[in-house]
Amino acid sequence: MTINNESPNFIQRFKVAWNVFRRGFPAAGGGGLQQKGTPFVWTSWQENTPLWQMTAFDAFVDEGFNRNSIIYAAIMYKARSKMAAPLRAYTGDPQRPEPLPPDDPLTKLVSRPNSQQSWPEFGALMEIYYNLGNSFVLLVRPRGGGLPESMFTLRPDRVRIVPGDKGTIKGYLYVPEGRAVRDGTPILPEDMIHVKLPNPNDPLEGMGWGMPPLAIAQSTDVDNEITRFLKLFFQNGAMPLGLLKFDVPMDDKTLTEIKRRWSDMYGGVDNWTDVGVLDQGGTYQRVGSNFDEMGFSTLDERNESRILMPLGVHPALLGTRISMLHSPLSNSNFTSVRKAYWEDTAVPELTLFEKEFQYFLRGEGGSFVAYDYSKVPALLQDKADLITAAHKMWTMGTPANQAYETVGLTVVDIPGGDIAYVPANVLPVGMEMDEAEPSMEGAVEAEDDDRKSGRGAGLRQAQDRGENKQAQAEDLLTAYTDGIGELVSSAILGEIEQVEFETAMTALVDETYPALFTAGAEIDDLAALSRGELAEFETELETAQASVPNLANDIYSLRRYDGEGGLESAENRVTVWGNKAMGLVSLGMLFMPGDELLEWVYGDTQHCEDCSRLNGQVHRQSEWRNSGWRTQGHNLACNGFHCQCRFKPMPAGTPTSGTFADLMTLTVKAAAEIHKHTNGVTNGVH
């Protein structure tokens, strides 16, 4: 037996397609394609006959898309909005897909379907055709079959559907403009994607032509006629329909002359403001309705709603009259409308295309395509809310990595993040405190993870050393600074993207700041604070959270312009953030139980005039708190960015020393000094 290894060329594939049109698919067992049976039976005149589209495609394009601004705006809004969700190529588990590399053939195909169109342009044309009833995509495969090399959208009015026998679709016929049907190009079913609007009256039982949105046809005609009337009205000089009456009889010639002279003198835009004059015995009577009487406002609103409802676009998204006058939306409500559009219209429509693409575009090794909704603004959840939800899950015993995954956050795996933690005082119901025995379960795993990461080790050791709050604070600060350093290094070296950096950095702040504050205050939980005390902590936390995007922008600017050399420049950012976190310990010390004596102690760095003046002063917590001065404070002349001063608890009986200067005076003076040295640029925590 001789085996032919040569792939069929275009002519051979054309002959195969033509034979299928003439004789149908080869029978099962004959080496050809097999078709599953259907319960449908077409009439004999339909079989093997290219069927035209039953509705007038040109009329929908001309009267709807081209002439009606509401339809055009709605369809283009849908086309533009869906550019935020491109089709991408993936591999692996569909629940946890991994993007294919840029040089993969499937990635190249969906990135640029053909040499003339990018995916946004290609997808927009698919969307426009779909909203007019039918969207056809031709798949051009290489010789021998396999993954398509390119894809093209076809005008629906140039495609014919060819029914086969036994209720099948034999294929399609593409008839370019100016050619006869007999000269059309046959296309096999496996080389054509057809996505359509439902057509309950389809003679091919849903396998034929989709139905254009006929429900909007009448409202579209009314809206177009109103627009046409207004155009003619102003084109003719904005003169309402009326008649001239005279008391004397006139023949036809005189009547014709009067009409001509009246039209010449007062008709047209140029004569709009001229004053009309009639001879004795003549009167003018308006017989047409004015705008108020015709109710154009009501008609406009009715047409807008009836046209947009079938298209699935809320009027507020297009800024139509009905939305602006009767239901103006606040920002939050507008956000809800955008989200509803994506959930109720955009995603379901894209799912129709996605299922077809997944069926026809199957790459090697199980690779597949899917729409990427990760960058759709309306579908992005509030990151702060997700972080809060993940933190609550973690405090309830869910491992950190699992908590982040559950709420949908992409975060670099945290060392020890697969271990569950619960508060030490949590006991089974009914068990007394002395019955509970310490458990070492997980300790070996935690210790092993600690050896792998200084950041994870520092945080865990700090949490476990409750007897010595000062040591706990130092360990937390070290772990926090190391954690920032690891993230910054990964960012500079291109190991994580900016969104991952921001998510991980925010999580680190949320995890560390409460621990630093409670360590300084020598309390076990923030619940021990009053509402006012908690508000001071929350202000510091919110300031740090809001500064994370600024830090990320700075770091990734260094990455773009300095590459690996940006590591040295980034060290200053790490130091600044570490010093500001140290201020949480100082702030917490001002809320320790009792009213202890605290001394301001220099750090190992240069000092501003405020730190120099306050160094060595001893005051009670309440006095420091009421004065507004604290180490690493924002009101210091140095802004606390590099301040390494700290509060030192003093034994009872230590005499107080020093006096506070007027805070407002010194703050204004410090602000002026900073303004002078920074040329008016005020820096945040970057």
Which has the closest alpha carbon to 341: 380, 302, 378? 378
* Arithmetic mean of pLDDT over the chain: 77
Residue 391 in this model has a pLDDT that exceeds 90? no
Selected residue with higher pLDDT from 162 and 461: 162
**How far are the Cα atoms of 619, 641, 667, 670 from residue 637, in angstroms, in the given order?**
21, 10, 7, 5
> With bands split at pLDDT 50, 70 and 90, how would you rate the model's confidence at 621?
confident
Which has the closest alpha carbon to 86: 426, 370, 473? 370
Lowest mean pLDDT among 110-124, 188-202, 250-264, 481-495: 250-264
The token pair at 529 is 């604070």
Residue 96 in this model has a pLDDT that exceeds 90? no
Q: What is the pLDDT of residues 430-454, one digit of tens each?
A: 555 455 444 444 444 444 444 344 4
The Cα–Cα gap between 537 and 531 comes to 10
Residue type present at position 482 = D
Q: Which residues contact 210 (CB under 8 A, 6 or more apart)?
A: 133, 134, 196, 197, 198, 199, 202
Mode of pairing for the β-strands spanning 87-91 and 368-371: antiparallel
According to the model, what pLDDT value does residue 372 have?
A: 94
The Cα–Cα gap between 44 and 667 comes to 93
Residue 65 in this model has a pLDDT that exceeds 80? yes
Residue 291 in this model has a pLDDT that exceeds 80? no
The Cα–Cα gap between 515 and 461 comes to 12
Q: What is the pLDDT of residues 562-584, one digit of tens each?
A: 544 555 666 777 878 887 888 88
Residue 347 in this model has a pLDDT that exceeds 50? yes
According to the model, what pLDDT value does residue 238 have?
A: 54
Place of tokens 């990964």: 490
User: By the 8 A CB rule, do 35 and 168 touch?
Assistant: yes
Bridge partner list, 242:
286
3-state helix, strand, coil in the chain (%, to 5): 50, 10, 40
The Cα–Cα gap between 633 and 627 comes to 12
* pTM assigned to the model: 0.53
> With bands split at pLDDT 50, 70 and 90, how would you rate the model's confidence at 370?
very high
The Cα–Cα gap between 368 and 361 comes to 7
> With bands split at pLDDT 50, 70 and 90, how would you rate the model's confidence at 193?
very high
